[in-house]
Each structure stands twice: as structure tokens, then as C-alpha cells.
Amino acid sequence: MAESGDTGPCEGTPAAESYPKKILEYMEGFLISKTVFTSCELGVFDVLLGAERPLSAEEISEVVGASLDGMQRLLAACTGLQLLNAHTENGQVLYSNTEQARVYLTRSGPLSLYQSIQYSSRTIYLCWHYLTDAIREGRNQYEKAFGVSSEDLFQALYRSDEEMVKFMQLMNSIWNICGKDVVTAFDLSPFKIICDLGGCSGALAKQCTSAYPECTVTIFDLPKVVRTSREHFVTESDQRISFHQGDFFKDPLPEADLYILARILHDWPDERCIELLSRVYKACRPGGAVLLVEALLHEDGSGPLTAQLYSLNMLVQTEGRERTAAQYVALLAAAGFTNIQHRLTGKIYDAVLGHKETDS
């Protein structure tokens, strides 16, 4: 028998049941997220990127205006998370970025996730505080999180110019990393005139014109999004990218060979998706197609975990959900599209392509 005070497993108790390692890791998951968010917000990785040598906690805290004690703890946690390298010289601990931190967590790199992290910290994280309410009520939580009505989804998402720019920067960073994979999952070279519905910052349009030099892309989005994209994201040098202002549920869609809906349908319930896809089908040229870019769930519901968590986020933030490939096939078929296929990219987002038959 175990002596009094012995905390070891009882005889016959499996080790996994005596220490819930995975559950404890899940409980602490938000601690990891906020450590990364805070390190980016304070500019820790940027300070180290601009330094000519590894820096001490004293030097970093002085540059960013933080307490030494707090910075020491933050840097130690980032080292444990393998985001920083720690070096000891003359009894002093010095820090430098790991390669992953240099590429993805500094502000200036072409693959930077800094803006995505800022949006996660300042918007998504606050919405998720009300996840329990979202589950109970079956609707998004913008009113509780930010005091704004969500009757018009994008009025809530774009509740200020600053928030709209943050959202656009989020989308920009995602497509800089994942965009090439989704636009090359299928050979889209036969489609010369492309319309990117809800094209936002134009990052995916740029991936299209890079992968398919003979195509032109029209970004269709709300007037204020188009204005901001022109001001901050798409320059005059992007000569094969143009803009069309409108609401894709209400206004006429430009005629095109291919329509791209990237992270659009997951915002909406099925009936709204069919409504939008029917409008796309009507505008699409015979022989044209529509490309959906979404995080696909496994057909048996077993994962991927990222898509399952994203589906919860769609509940907290929007009116929609993540879906399986079969569910997107059903939506496309209901709108009239045929010869529907899907391709997995091995990353977060996958591709579904549906065709409009040529006239007989």
C-alpha cells in the first residue's frame, strides 16, 4: 500500500488516468496564445530582428517600455515555446529570434502573421469570451463583446475603419501564406477573366495573376473595402487587377469565366449560400466555373481539429459554419453547378471547383 502522503498512482490505475497531461495542456492553451499575442504587441520579435546581436532582458525591456521582471518572465516563456533562442554570455542570458519567429512574427516580412495575431488577440479572443452564450443561443456574440448589433454581419465585422483595416490585414497575411496552394489546387489557366467575390485586400487576386499570367482579376467588394484596398493594398503596378463595388447579395455581378469565393460561404447559413451561388451561376459564362476556398471538415466528423475549432468561431463571429466537401457539393449542385470536385492542399484551406455547362 502507498504510504500516507504518497501521490503515486494506485495499484491497477493506468498511468494515463493518474495524470491528465493532455487535458492540462488544453486548459493552458489560452496562456500560450496570449503569450504569443503579447510578445507581438510589445514588439519583442521586431526589436530582436533589428538588433545586430542577441539582447538581454534589460535591453529589450528598455526598448519596449516594459518592466524588467515582466519581460524576463515573458522571454523565458517564449524560449520555452521555442520562439526565442537563449544564449548565456559572461553569466548573462541573451535572446535572439528563432527562424520561425523571424519569418512569421515580425511585422515587416512578406509572410508575417503579425496582423493576423493582432486581430486574434483584439477581436476573436474577446468574442470567444462569450462562447458559452454562443452555444446556448446559437448566434454570434458581437453585441456582448463590442456593443454593436449583428443584424448586418459585415456592419458588425467592419464596425469601424480601424477594425475593417485590421480584418483586411488578417486576410492579407493568410493568403500570403496559403493563397498559392488554393489557386493552384486545380489548373485554372483556361479561365482568363476571374472575379474574386469578397476579394478584400487583393492578396488572393495577386496569387492568381502570379500563377496565371494571362488572367485578369476583378475584386468585387463593398465600396468602403474597395476604397481601403486601393489605398493600402493594391498598387497601380498590379495592372491586371481591377475593382467593382457592390453587395454581392443585391447588386449585379460582373460577368466572368471563373468566380472565386474564398472564405465567403462559411460566413452564411445554407439558404444564403444557395442564394449567392445561384446569383454566381446566373452571371457565370457558359463553360465557366466557381472556385470555393474553405477549411474542409472530414466527412465522418473526425477532424481536422483546426476546421472544427474554426466552425465554433463561425458561430461566435458570423452566421455560418465550416462544412464537409459533400456539403459544399450539395450547395453548388442546388445552384446548378455540375462536375464538382474538391482538392485538399495539406494546409488549412482546401479548394472545391464546380462548373457551368456550355450551351447546347
**Looking at the annotation, which residues are catalytic?**
266
Q: Which three cell numbers stand for residue 259?
A: 468566380
For cell 478584400, the residue is 200
Are the C-beta atoms of residues 18 and 26 closer than 8 Å to each other?
A: no
273 to each of 231, 248, 342, 345, how far by Cα in Å?
A: 30, 11, 18, 23
Are the C-beta atoms of residues 294 and 349 closer than 8 Å to each other?
A: yes
Closest CA to 217 of 200, 232, 343: 200
Q: How far apart are CA 265 and CA 150, in angstroms?
A: 17
Closest CA to 256 of 210, 209, 192: 192
Give the DSSP H/E element, type plus range, for residue 45. helix 44-50
Longest Cα–Cα distance of the chain, Å, equals 85
Are the C-beta atoms of residues 291 and 359 closer than 8 Å to each other?
A: no
**CA 220 to centroid of chain Cα atoms:** 20
For cell 467592419, the residue is 158
Give the DSSP H/E element, type plus range, for residue 84. strand 84-89
Q: How far apart are CA 295 and CA 159, in angstroms?
A: 26
Angle subtended by helix axes 161-183 and 223-232, to nearest 10? 80
Are the C-beta atoms of residues 290 and 342 closer than 8 Å to each other?
A: no
